[in-house]
Structure 1
């Protein structure tokens, strides 16, 4: 019997830990009788990491070849359809989906976080794309409400990465405890003054707690420079871990007492491993997670200018804040597996 081939499209092969975690989860959830083919920014690396067939996502002839060789097309999770950080992104992904639908492939939108969509053209394209899918799953209430307004059937479930299997990081075993993890990224709203204040507050927090600081860049191109600046101020009390395997990146949060995170999937991974989370939001998707899980934090634009106030807020949360209960975590993990059931139904 010939196995079905499914082409997976997302922000893969770009060194972003959250998007790689979505790919790893999608591969984990695909039915065993489906052969994955991945569009990637670095197809050689993607093939090596995951043992899959992979093609250059920006090479038109390769993309056409991949589409022609496949029976199904899957938008593989994340904020692919939005026009705030990129005006090109919704047209790239929307164009691929439209092409797959014209070519007669089964099309699935999986684990999507839709929007913001500010332009009429992108809203029109997104509506047509989702309406043409045989199955749709989304990860947040706002996306679900938008699809409901458009009359498009879908399921709402927690972000798929809640269900990603994690692995322990052997190098962490001998590091001191307690531990606090930090995941900051480059962003226009993280101004030089704000960054300096956050690093100063982190130094204060480390002094107060005597915690060892794990600095986890989720995307080297955006995060490593900031990570190195943090470590420069905490030379003997911190370490940078650049972990490329998503299961290890998630496993790095095991035994961590608190996370200060900007990255959405750093907060999801940490919370799923029983860690207390404090968010620094630069995007509505993070605010949605904060609302859903009652995670404290600040929008970047509203971070207090008073370093002592920032460090005191963090220290109070470190002492008195709560992680998610084991029951709540299990409920979110179970819910995330609804994305797997959707794939099983769609790819019969």
Structure 2
């Protein structure tokens, strides 16, 4: 039975990245034994029943050396907006696997943003040594084509994550408006204040229930709590324990105002969405699925105008049709094909 190390932003309490890990485990060929590098090995092992290794330890290098393959992904890991150090860490592990002659797959990657020439050089260097690469957006594919690095493009794998029931939804009146915001450099105090005032007006005008959904406790919970304290009833903060439950949760709401990429992906098939675009990956999802939204850098400072945009979207936006969903799910198969072919 081949042992394959899975490397990503795992065990950090981010529902989107946990959903990517679950989808990767779902797509692995039968007979492959996954070894997951995790920030919280105990929690990851208990949650998914897999062998785990602390993600920053000598055990990491040993696990890669003893494995038959290395899968790096998915998501926006090769970027230097968060930090150059994070990119160097992931690139070093990938290069270690390559130097040892392991099958190395960069899986479901969103490359960039790469702000420095150093980050560009490192990323190009390690990707050229991969056995196979899949990317999840056109900009990443175009960048690798420019570097003359072969790749396959397909939508984010989380589109095919299997759902689990979520039975803990309170009996709130409709319309139910789900909201996911996160901390980010572009989310200034002024913009957050505008969003808060607009949300209060939106709730009042539509007699709506507000469901605040943090995806990562460390980055989303404080904003969710701030909004909760400012809003009127009915309101609730909900954070499902398992990533697969988000799909079922969104099936019980009427509209999502979403900032995180995977909040929009997990909701788009279940309810209409409005994207708050803070990153190129969100803009590309908007284009792919024709989602209404706003660039956070160009957020109107008129709360009433923003509230009216949401009201219009609530009345006119549509969830993805079954045909659109089937098309995306068929395209996602490319991420599984590369695993089947190379592992």
TM-score tier (shorter): over 0.9
Deviation at 1:312, TM superposition (A): 0.6
Q: How far does the alpha carbon of each residue in 1:310-345 deviate from its partner, in whole angstroms, 9 at most, with x for none?
A: 101100111122222221112112211221111101
Deviation at 1:235, TM superposition (A): 4.7
Deviation at 1:112, TM superposition (A): 0.3
Report the counterpart of residue 77 of structure 1 in structure 2. Answer: 74
Is contact 2:200-2:231 (8 Å) kept?
yes
Q: Distance in 1 between matches of 2:116 and 2:187?
A: 26
TM-score (normalised: structure 1): 0.95
Deviation at 1:227, TM superposition (A): 0.6
Is contact 1:163-1:337 (8 Å) kept?
no
Is contact 1:37-1:53 (8 Å) kept?
yes
2:168 alignment partner, SS class: helix
Report the counterpart of residue 344 of structure 1 in structure 2. Answer: 340
CA RMSD of aligned residues (A): 1.3
Is contact 1:163-1:334 (8 Å) kept?
no
Q: How far does the alpha carbon of each residue in 1:249-282 deviate from its partner, in whole angstroms, 9 at most, with x for none?
A: 2321113221101101101111132x11111111
Report the counterpart of residue 26 of structure 1 in structure 2. Answer: 24
Is contact 2:292-2:317 (8 Å) kept?
no
Q: Which runs of 5+ in 2 are unaligned?
A: none
2:177 alignment partner, SS class: strand
Asked if 1:329 is matched to 2:325, the reply is: yes
Residues 1-348 of structure 1 mapped to structure 2, 5 A cutoff: 3-59=1-57, 61-172=58-169, 174-273=171-270, 275-347=271-343
Q: How many equivalent residue pairs?
A: 343
The 1:186/1:267 distance shift into structure 2, 3 A limit, reads: same
Is contact 1:250-1:270 (8 Å) kept?
yes
1:246 alignment partner, SS class: coil
Deviation at 1:105, TM superposition (A): 1.0
The 1:98/1:62 distance shift into structure 2, 3 A limit, reads: same
TM-score (normalised: structure 2): 0.97
Deviation at 1:221, TM superposition (A): 0.7
Is contact 1:168-1:254 (8 Å) kept?
no
Q: Distance in 2 between matches of 1:145 and 1:343?
A: 22
2:70 alignment partner, SS class: strand
